[in-house]
Amino acid sequence: MLRPLASLHNFSEEIIDNFHKNGYFFVEDIDNSPEIIERFVNVKVMKNFMIPPLTLLALDHWQAELEYQKLSSSSKLLDKILDGGFQCGTITELCGAQGSGKTQICFQACLHVQLSRELGGLNGRALYIDTRNAFSLQRINDLIEGYKKLYPRLKISNDLMAQNIQIATLGKLEELSTTIEKLKNTLVNQTKNNLIRLIIIDSLSFLIMSVEEPSLRVRLYLNILDELQKLASKYNIAVIVVNELVTQINLKGKIIFDSAGGQSVSSRFFKRLQLTRTASSKFAVKLLKSSIMEQITVPFSIDTDGIRDLV
């Protein structure tokens, strides 16, 4: 089967168009013609993208999944639909309208990741990529006080927990690529006692929706998520990506609310959750995608101390 050049998502639209304008539409057209390739892109880079993916036995794949740890959301009901929590080595999407609790769950995860594994944590640190200038240290301190009430015997330092959250505040899409590249170096050089175990982007769609060309937006989503997936798998990290809800038209011509990333990038997420505010402090989360769980909705609340189950 011929592989379209357009499937090489790491290439810009301009490079792909140049190939097409010169009559090259498939990888096989240029596979053994370095003199053609070098007219448009570095030959070594091109060859790396054309290497077939490695195969893996189903049993080995299952064993690898068993070795991935899970980060508790601090809510038993939410953990239930997450099959135990946010799974390391994967990307979980949180989507919802403004004020639906997405950021609150992210804040909570930044703290819970620091707890011991016995308490559902990962004994690690968090990287919080803030694209909306929405990070609140005051809210983090409120949540820490909530943990002190939940675990009165646990010695918790507000300053230490805050220091274990690394914040990257971004205003441009280009800065996200730079941040990911710097993160690669950080992960390579980190020590065992100071590991980043959680990466959050709040939100990815806020940056990408500024791009006008729809096909370019999709390519950007895929490229960024693919890079995050590589890091998640290699370093056993849980990744949470926040996306806003936007209006879209489905196949039946009806207007619906869906994640800004759309169905075209949903395959990159291991699990997808949609959040909704039902009252002033009450919320609901619906499981949109899971390989083992049915689509269900569970309620929860958010108060000064953090996320709490509704019984």
How many other C-beta atoms are found inside a 10 Å radius of the C-beta of residue 122?
A: 26
Name the amino acid, one letter, at 131.
T
Helix (H), strand (E) at residue 87 = strand 86-87
Q: Which long-range contacts (CB under 8 A, 24 or more apart) does 209-215 make?
A: 209/244, 209/246, 209/260, 210/173, 211/173, 213/13, 215/13
Give me the tens of pLDDT residue by residue for the chain, a chain 311 residues long.
456 666 665 666 677 777 777 777 777 666 666 666 677 666 555 555 555 555 656 555 445 555 679 999 999 999 999 999 999 999 999 999 999 999 999 999 999 999 999 999 999 999 999 999 999 999 999 999 999 999 999 889 999 999 999 999 998 999 999 999 999 999 999 888 889 999 999 989 999 988 888 888 888 999 999 999 999 999 999 999 999 988 776 667 777 777 878 777 888 999 999 999 999 899 999 999 887 778 899 999 999 999 999 86
3-class secondary structure per residue, 16-81: HHHHHHCCCCEHHHHCCCHHHHCCCCCHHHHHHHCCCCCCCCHHHHHHHHHHCCEECCCCHHHHHH
pTM: 0.79
At 241 the three-state DSSP class reads strand
**Distance (Å, whole) CA 228 – CA 225:** 5
